[in-house]
Amino acid sequence: MKNATRSRSLFALSALLVVASCQDATSPREDADAPSTAAFQPGQGQGQGQARVAALFEGASPAVMELPGTVFADHDERIGKMVFGVENENAATGVRRALIARGVASDDFEIEITDPISALETLRDRFRPTAAGSQIHFGNYVCTMGFNVDHAGGRSFITNSHCTKRQGGVEGTTYAQPTRTVDPTVVATEVADPVYFKGGICPKGKTCRYSDASRAQYSSSVTSVRGDILKTTGANNGSVTVAGRFSVTSQDNTTTSFAIGSVFNKVGRTTGWTQGPVSRTCVNTNVLGTRIHQLCQTFVTAGVDGGDSGSPVFRITSGDNVQLVGILWGGGTGYYVMSPLAAIQAELGSVNAVK
């Protein structure tokens, strides 16, 4: 079952109805103070000075912005000057020379050293090559791309079994990234999703597996990058703005019972990067509203919400280097549930997720 209804059930976080992605509006500029008259020539009125600087700016801006290391050009009416942002002092020297060569007086401009500007991306944007932690779309729902891998069957990504048309069994679910509205390209197709079993250790009336995981094989035309997990602006701050990348430098292929208190992280399309301690280990869990029973799962005390299903789970080893430990599939109030990577590989086969 897949729905977007929030509840405190383990399965309520399985998927989220597709909605239009939000765009942050640019904050309106605050009213500026009256421009200084310091830059105006004697005998000029304020309007005349502004008109003169505006005329200078019209020609100077394109000439300056073609230079390497330039960041912005602004006719700053507050101070009655042109202001040029550059990345470093070398760039500043080049801008200064270019302006003087155009006959622009030093009193008519200022140069600031500033950080270069990059377009802000969110986990819900389009990524090519694709990267772990970004939004994927199947049917009428969205989940999170778990991690890109090399597999004997081909270049693939891992996400949840319940992020397919039917949990357990292969139906050839196709995926778009981030949504079919943004890009209708089929980025990958479900090729591995073991059926749930009955009997033995599985409780009567239930169907069981050790991981909520499936494998989707990439279309040949779609590029992917192995070992990258998108990184937001910080842990537990609710941001989905991409500020960098984690690098998977190792993967835990053997552990199914993690030490209580171990600090784990996840990156998901809804709540971004959340971090917290392992609170329960090798827990057998029922999934509300279904006959599904997941064996030997791990609970982590950290934020989660609908659409985070499929999030890669990892421990930070040093800086932005991380060790992959599993995949998130559900949760409740204040905690999430993950399947260990060891269980995923036992069911889907050996994978290489390391950069």
Residue 90 has a CB neighbour count (10 Å cut-off) of: 10
Same domain for 329 and 182, yes or no, is yes
Kindly state whether residues 97 and 127 are assigned to the same domain.
no
Ramachandran assignment for 94, one of left (phi > 0), alpha (psi -120 to 50 degrees), beta (any other) = alpha
- The pLDDT of residue 110 is above 80: yes
**Same domain? 66 vs 141:** no
Q: Residue 158 — φ and ψ, nearest 5°?
A: -105, 135
Residue-level pLDDT at 48: 72
In a domain, 33, yes or no: no
Q: Quick check: is 310 in a domain?
A: yes
Q: Bigger pLDDT: 72 or 209?
A: 209
CATH of the domain at 306: 2.40.10.10
Q: How confident is the model at residue 120 (pLDDT cuts 50, 70, 90)?
A: low
Average pLDDT of span 39-56: 64
User: If residue 313 lies in a helix (H) or strand (E), which one and from where to where?
Assistant: strand 312-318
Return all residues near 200 (Cβ < 8 A) that are at least 6 apart: none
What mean pLDDT do residues 178-195 have?
A: 97
Which of 113, 139, 157 finishes a domain?
A: 113
Please name every residue paired with 317 in a beta bridge, in sequence order, or none if there are none. Answer: none
Residue 324 pLDDT level (bands cut at 50, 70, 90): very high
CB count within 10 Å of CB 37 equals 12
Q: What is the pLDDT of residue 27?
A: 29
Strand 81-86 to strand 70-76: parallel, antiparallel, or no bridges (unpaired)?
A: antiparallel
Domain-embedded: residue 11 = no
pLDDT above 90 as % of the chain: 72
The verdict on pTM exceeding 0.85 is: no
Shared domain for 206 and 94, answered yes or no, is no
Q: Rounded to whole angstroms, how far apart are CA atoms 46 and 37?
A: 7
pLDDT for res 29:
26
Q: What is the pLDDT of residue 15?
A: 40
**pLDDT beyond 50 at 112:** yes
CATH of the domain at 66: 3.30.300
Cβ proximity of 206 and 293 under 8 Å: yes
Structure tokens at 125: 């944007």
Same domain for 107 and 148? no
User: Residue 298: pLDDT above 80?
Assistant: yes
How far is it, in rounded angstroms, from Cα 250 to Cα 85?
41
Tokens of 168: 């357990």
Q: Is the pLDDT of residue 36 over 50?
A: no
**One domain for residues 98 and 211:** no
Q: In this structure, is residue 341 part of a structural domain? A: yes
pLDDT of res. 47: 64
Same domain, 169 and 192: yes
User: Which of 60, 80, 113 delimits the end of a domain?
Assistant: 113
pLDDT > 80? residue 280: yes
Looking at the structure of the chain, the number of domains it has is 2
Quote the pLDDT of residue 115.
79
- Residue 5, domain member (yes or no): no
Q: How far apart are CA 157 and CA 190, in angstroms?
A: 9
- Is residue 53's pLDDT more than 70? yes
- Whole-number Å distance between alpha carbons of 139 and 46: 61
Q: Tell me, yes or no, whether 242 and 308 share the same domain.
A: yes
pLDDT exceeds 50 at position 190: yes
Report yes or no on 37 lying in a domain.
no
| CA distance linking residue 292 with residue 301, whole number of Å | 23
Convert the pLDDT of each residue in 325-346 to its tens digit.
999 999 888 899 999 999 999 9
Residues 86 and 139 in one domain: no
3-state secondary structure string, 239-293? CCEEEEEEEEEEECCCCCCCCCCCEEEEEECCCEEEEEEEEEEEEEEECCCCCEE
Residues 247 and 295 in one domain: yes
**Of 271, 273, 278, 269, whose CA–CA distance to 337 is shortest?**
278
Beta carbons of 313 and 159 less than 8 angstroms apart:
no
Please check whether residue 54 lies inside any domain of the structure.
yes
Residue finishing a domain among 113, 131, 163: 113
- Please write the tens of the pLDDT for every residue from 233-251: 999 999 999 999 999 999 9
SS3 156: strand
Using DSSP's 3-state secondary structure scheme, residue 43 falls into coil
Mean pLDDT of 263-286: 94
Q: For residue 318, what are the domain limits? A: 121-352
Output 146 or 66, whichever has higher pLDDT: 146
- The percent of the chain in helix, strand and coil, each rounded to the nearest 5, is 15, 40, 50
pLDDT score recorded for residue 309: 96
Residues 6+ apart with CB under 8 A from 194: 168, 169, 209, 347, 348
Q: What mean pLDDT value characterizes the chain?
A: 86
Residue 27 covered by a domain: no
In this structure, the answer to whether residues 136 and 75 fall within a common structural domain is no
pLDDT of residue 25: 29
The answer to whether residue 42 scores a pLDDT higher than 60 is no
Phi and psi angles of residue 282, each rounded to the nearest 5 degrees, phi first: 50, 55
Residues 98 and 132 in one domain: no
Cβ proximity of 36 and 79 under 8 Å: yes
- The arithmetic mean of pLDDT across residues 125-137, rounded, is 98
